[in-house]
Amino acid sequence: MIVVKGGVTTAKGFLASGVKAGIKKSKKTDLGLLYSEIPAVAAGAFTINRFQASPVKISKAHLKNNAHHAIIVNSGNANCANGKRGDMDALLMADYIAKIMGLNRKDVLVASTGIIGKVLPIDKIKNRIPYLVSGLSEKGGSDFAEAILTTDTEKKEFAVKMKLGSSVVTIGGACKGVGMIYPNIKIENHATMLAFITTDAAISKKMLEGALNEAIDSSFNMISVDGDMSTNDCCFILANGIAGNKKIKSKDGNYQKFVRGLKFLTSELAKMLVIDGEGATKFVTIDVIGAEHQGDAKRIARKISTSNLLKCCIYGEDPNWGRIISACGASGVEFNPSKVDVYLGDIKVLSGGSCVKGYDKNKAKRLFKRKKIYIKVDLKSGRSKATAWTCDFSKEYVEINSEYST
């Protein structure tokens, strides 16, 4: 597997575009289209927030189709809490693309991100659809990546190539989200983060769903910027089979290779989201090892990642490891505190549940001045582990979110 430059149009047979529709007050690009030149199988994962936005509801319904061609997405307006009108506007977005491109509207998936509770300016979107479609190109991936941004400071794109048998398969992606980030997204068959992934691999819908579920479980579902779950979180993957590999129909060796590539891509995209978190000055990696079950490790890692007190300590460059053990204890996971070790970087601060006497506090403070901070918790209860990523809480985060809707 190798990393290549690109995003959603790096895989064969995918085109994209982005235009300015006037949805955002900033007048920046705010309407994007992703298109597969041949029918693609699709999978999607969505927020478990009970107050789901209209595009989430529509896309969940459309994913029941066997094949899909396009995804239309707008930024600047979440189209959430708009009742039946919101649902109709989300359907109209799909309709406009379907009619001009000769598709069934169920072939089109929809996503939105932005302010909650404002009516979507559907006429502005309708007026720009012809330009959105005519602008589709293999070079349009970057425009698409820009169209999905809200308070992000930069585009987030990534792509990898790998060999499956004698065929070269590509996976590319783009995502957005730097606030209201604490995803818990699930495959439907079983600020806002939006992720769009494309691949030219030949793979069945069932295997694609399984691969996406495995990938997001260890990537997007392990990040936190502020611990708030969005109403619009979604992750889509389209696979059109143009690479010509032997179709993946079971969890064989090629499936495992594909999953490894997909996991790597989603993890890199997920880390980009955290690094660009609203007002973030620090990037924090949290490893929890020695858990009895992987679910326990994930639960503790996520609990630590959402500790507001710890995130404030990190911003203030105060290595208060008491915040870490407090989060562990509040996670609801059963473990023996008298076995636990905690490390800040390479400094052991807790050993067997007790403070390490004479540890170098000044060295720990110097570690917290770095842009990248590493925390490790060893439960010494088993062999399971998990990694979570988070950032600090800064004054800028408060400023951004105290005037977001004005």
User: Per residue in 277-318, pLDDT tens?
Assistant: 888 899 999 999 999 999 999 999 999 999 999 999 999 999
Would the pLDDT of 403 be above 80? no
- Of the residues 9, 192, 198, 390, which is catalytic? 192
User: Whole-angstrom Cα distance, residue 45 to residue 306?
Assistant: 22
Six-digit token pair at 3?
Answer: 């990393």
| Closest listed residue to residue 366, CA positions, set 399, 401, 318 | 318
> How far is CA 117 from each of CA 42, 80, 113, 124, 181, rounded to the nearest angstrom?
29, 6, 12, 18, 19
pTM across the whole model: 0.92
pLDDT, position 249: 98
What three-state secondary structure class fits 273?
helix
Residue pLDDT, tens place only, 51-90: 899 999 999 999 999 999 999 999 999 999 999 999 999 9
The secondary structure of the chain in percent helix, strand, coil, rounded to multiples of 5, reads 35, 30, 40
Would the pLDDT of 188 be above 60? no
Would the pLDDT of 131 be above 90? yes
Would the pLDDT of 340 be above 70? yes
Phi, psi at residue 223, to the nearest 5°?
A: -120, 155
Q: By the 8 A CB rule, do 35 and 103 touch?
A: no
User: Whole-angstrom Cα distance, residue 290 to residue 190?
Assistant: 29
Q: At what angle do helices 322-329 and 308-315 cross, to 10 degrees?
A: 160
Instruction: For residue 189, name the pLDDT band (cuts at 50, 70, 90).
Output: very low
Measured between its terminal Cα atoms, the distance across the chain in Å is 45
Number of Cβ within a 10 Å radius of residue 318: 13
Tell how far CA 14 is from the center of its chain: 21
pLDDT, position 5: 97
Average pLDDT of the chain to the nearest whole number: 93
pLDDT, position 272: 95
Q: Does the active-site annotation cover 192?
A: yes
User: Whole-angstrom Cα distance, residue 141 to residue 172?
Assistant: 10
Domains and CATH numbers, the chain: 2-275 (3.60.70.12), 283-401 (3.10.20.340)
| Closest listed residue to residue 36, CA positions, set 156, 146, 136, 147 | 136
Instruction: For residue 213, name the pLDDT band (cuts at 50, 70, 90).
Output: very high
Would the pLDDT of 190 be above 70? no
pLDDT, position 126: 98
pLDDT, position 89: 98
CB-side neighbour CA atoms (13 Å) of 373: 32
Mean pLDDT of 107-128: 96
Q: By the 8 A CB rule, do 332 and 299 touch?
A: yes
Instruction: For residue 395, name the pLDDT band (cuts at 50, 70, 90).
Output: confident
pLDDT, position 183: 66
User: Whole-angstrom Cα distance, residue 330 to residue 28?
Assistant: 43
User: Whole-angstrom Cα distance, residue 41 to residue 188?
Assistant: 15
- CB-based contacts of 304, cutoff 8 Å, min separation 6: 286, 288, 310, 324, 327, 328, 375, 377, 388, 390
134 membership: H or E segment, kind and range: helix 122-134
User: Whole-angstrom Cα distance, residue 210 to residue 215?
Assistant: 9
Residue pLDDT, tens place only, 145-178: 999 998 888 999 999 999 999 999 999 999 998 6
Six-digit token pair at 52?
Answer: 């789901």
Residue pLDDT, tens place only, 247-262: 999 999 999 999 999 9
What three-state secondary structure class fits 341?
strand
Would the pLDDT of 265 be above 50? yes
pLDDT, position 177: 83
pLDDT, position 44: 96
Determine what percent of the chain is predicted with pLDDT higher than 70.
94
User: Whole-angstrom Cα distance, residue 159 to residue 161?
Assistant: 7
